[in-house]
Chain A
Amino acid sequence: MVFFNGVWILYKKEVKDFFLSPLVYILAGLYTLIIGWLFFNYLVAAKELTASTLTQSILIPLFGNMNFLFLFLAPLLTMKVFAEEKKLKTLNLLLRSSLSDWQIILGKYFATFTVTFFMISLTFLFPIILAFSGYHDWGIVISSYMGLFFCLFCYLAVGIFVSSLTSNQIIAAILSFSILLGFMLMVFSVNASHLAMVRDLFQYLSVPFHFEGFVRGAIKNFNILYFFCFSGIFLYMTRKSLESRYW
């Protein structure tokens, strides 16, 4: 089987499953509502902050919150990816098929990403609204969305990995949220050590540190490398977790 053909077969099924479930629409509605409300507030507050640009007063905090919300939403979306299949005993159908472990993982990973892309696409309206006020710094908007998508790659990889460890969706959601929160809080631990090397290490390991550059419009190689490595490591661990049935 051609590699991407296998991924595509599973991807189609997973995307369909997601969009047949009310969970996606509930989460998308909730997400848009919260982000819309925040956008409105930042927009109103921006009138007072005459010294700062629209990027500083609206976009930077808005994207920060968009990213932060996915800390809760990503585990809710990924919790069922493997856990439900394990519970319903359908995972063996996939594992015994001609699909390789990587095809299964990537099919599910891309499908989950498509759902989050759908949720984020609902927020494309906000920069367009800003455009009516004369906002034209589209480079920042694009790099912010890129940063957000890179962060999502990481969050979803963690969620999928945790989901492969258990057949209980609640445990999967709580555990992946805890791991993601841990990576987010790492940036606050920077001051915990006097050793510069430890500080730098903590800073480098935390997700917001790398996202921050994107929101400011600064796309750096090492940020991108971090996101790819982070996602890659968790997807690799997912594969190991699937393989563990033979241990």
Chain B
Amino acid sequence: MNVIELKNIVKTYPGVEALKGISFAVEKGSIHGFLGPNGAGKTTSMNIIAGLSSPTSGQVLVDGKELDKGKVPIGFLPETPPLYGQMKVAEYLKFVAEINDLPKKLVRDRVFEIGKRCGLSKVMERLIGNLSKGYRQRVGIAQSLVFDPKIVILDEPTVGLDPNSIIEIRELITSLKKDHTIMFSTHQLHEANLICSHITIINKGQILKSGPINEIRKSLKNRQVVKAVVRDWKIIEPDVVLGEIRDLFPCERVEIESTEGQTELKFIAATEEDLRPSVGAYLMKKDCGLLSFREEGMDLEDIFKKVAGP
């Protein structure tokens, strides 16, 4: 079931067409990564979904309904977290919960729970204006969750955080999957690779790919790559290896890289045939001390490069 659905959204600013009829959907209970280079239209799309601006044409459905302008029950962390520096963290979260109509009796417990979940317990009584950037970002995430929305949109939630905080925020996002549908934009493809179940890739105001991350990988993979690490390998020239295997299996290219007593071999298939049995048999025959052997999937970096182009 789709909780967010964008149908042919066009957004124009004077002289610029920021979104050129984009359509995609976010499935319930998924962690949906929204990827794209700077100026691709990510923030514009997210602002439209969050109800902060209206599309020039097209339709946005949240839970199957077109909602009132601005009053979309979505937790939203924009690029710049909307924080009041003169308020204390607990006071601010209470205020956000109250203006979002969270029942009064739940407010106190919810603020405490979200504070704990977002790693803010130690700073609940401190002024937001005196917090570090990392903590501010956490408060920003906490405000998007405090009124318990079903859908949460996070615009680059890990920007400006130290490595430990990034890991904690990623764990937090993953833990939210149980109760919320998460959509978040990021530049860090590695991050999306780690936590997303679905992705949408946008570039120059157009959706290039959207769907489950595995399916996107599959759809883009046209050549199999088999990677093997061996201990004893004497042939340095890829052409020599190619010559040896020419009659055994269809291989387009072989890459050889030696490092610290190990050699990494990459066999890139010439056809759609599964190379693994043949490559395995070849390496066993060579008795080269096989250390590891696996099919290499296309990582998100490759996918992004491939679909977004130069």
Within the assembled complex, what's the spacing in Å between the Cα atoms of A247 and B99?
A: 25
Structural contact, B52 and A10, CB atoms closer than 8 A: no
Q: Using a Cβ–Cβ cut-off of 8 Å, how many residues does chain A contribute to the interface with B?
A: 22
* Nearest-Cβ distance from residue A15 to partner chain B, whole angstroms: 13
Structural contact, B82 and A92, CB atoms closer than 8 A: yes
Which of B69, B98, B99 has the most chain A CB atoms closer than 10 A to its own CB? B99
Which of B50, B78, B100 is the one whose CB lies under 8 Å from A89? Answer: B78
Contacts of A97 in B (CB 8 A): 96, 99-100
* Nearest-Cβ distance from residue B48 to partner chain A, whole angstroms: 11
A246 within 8 A of B: yes
Q: A9-B98, A9-B99 are known contacts. Are A90 and B69 too (CB-CB below 8 A)?
A: no
Shortest Cβ distance from B70 into A: residue: A95
Structural contact, A245 and B95, CB atoms closer than 8 A: no
- A6-30 vs B, CB cutoff 8 Å, 1 = contact: the mask equals 1001100100010011000000000
B101 within 8 A of A: yes
A94 within 8 A of B: yes
* Nearest-Cβ distance from residue B114 to partner chain A, whole angstroms: 16
- A84-128 vs B, CB cutoff 8 Å, 1 = contact: the mask equals 000011111111111100000000000000000000000000000
**Chain A contact residues, majority secondary structure:** helix
B51 within 8 A of A: yes
A1 within 8 A of B: yes
Structural contact, B71 and A96, CB atoms closer than 8 A: yes
Contacts of B158 in A (CB 8 A): none
* Nearest-Cβ distance from residue B49 to partner chain A, whole angstroms: 11
Interface residues on B, range: 20 to 34
- A220-247 vs B, CB cutoff 8 Å, 1 = contact: the mask equals 0000000000000000000000000110
Which of B51, B71, B96 is the one whose CB lies under 8 Å from A93? Answer: B96
B83 within 8 A of A: yes
**Chain B contact residues, majority secondary structure:** loop
* Nearest-Cβ distance from residue A134 to partner chain B, whole angstroms: 47
Structural contact, B83 and A17, CB atoms closer than 8 A: no
Structural contact, A246 and B99, CB atoms closer than 8 A: no
Within the assembled complex, what's the spacing in Å between the Cα atoms of A9 and B189?
A: 41
* Nearest-Cβ distance from residue B130 to partner chain A, whole angstroms: 14
Within the assembled complex, what's the spacing in Å between the Cα atoms of A30 and B214?
A: 68
Structural contact, B50 and A246, CB atoms closer than 8 A: no
- B251-288 vs A, CB cutoff 8 Å, 1 = contact: the mask equals 00000000000000000000000000000000000000
Q: A96-B72, A98-B71 are known contacts. Are A9 and B86 too (CB-CB below 8 A)?
A: no
Contacts of B188 in A (CB 8 A): none
Structural contact, B69 and A17, CB atoms closer than 8 A: no
* Nearest-Cβ distance from residue B53 to partner chain A, whole angstroms: 6
Within the assembled complex, what's the spacing in Å between the Cα atoms of A97 and B51?
A: 11
Closest 6 CB pairs of A and B: A93-B82, A97-B99, A98-B101, A90-B82, A246-B54, A89-B80
Provide a sorted-by-A list of 19 A–B residue pairs whose CB atoms are within 8 angstroms. Answer: A9-B98, A9-B99, A10-B99, A13-B87, A17-B84, A88-B82, A88-B85, A89-B78, A90-B84, A91-B82, A92-B78, A93-B99, A94-B99, A96-B70, A97-B96, A98-B100, A99-B99, A245-B52, A246-B69
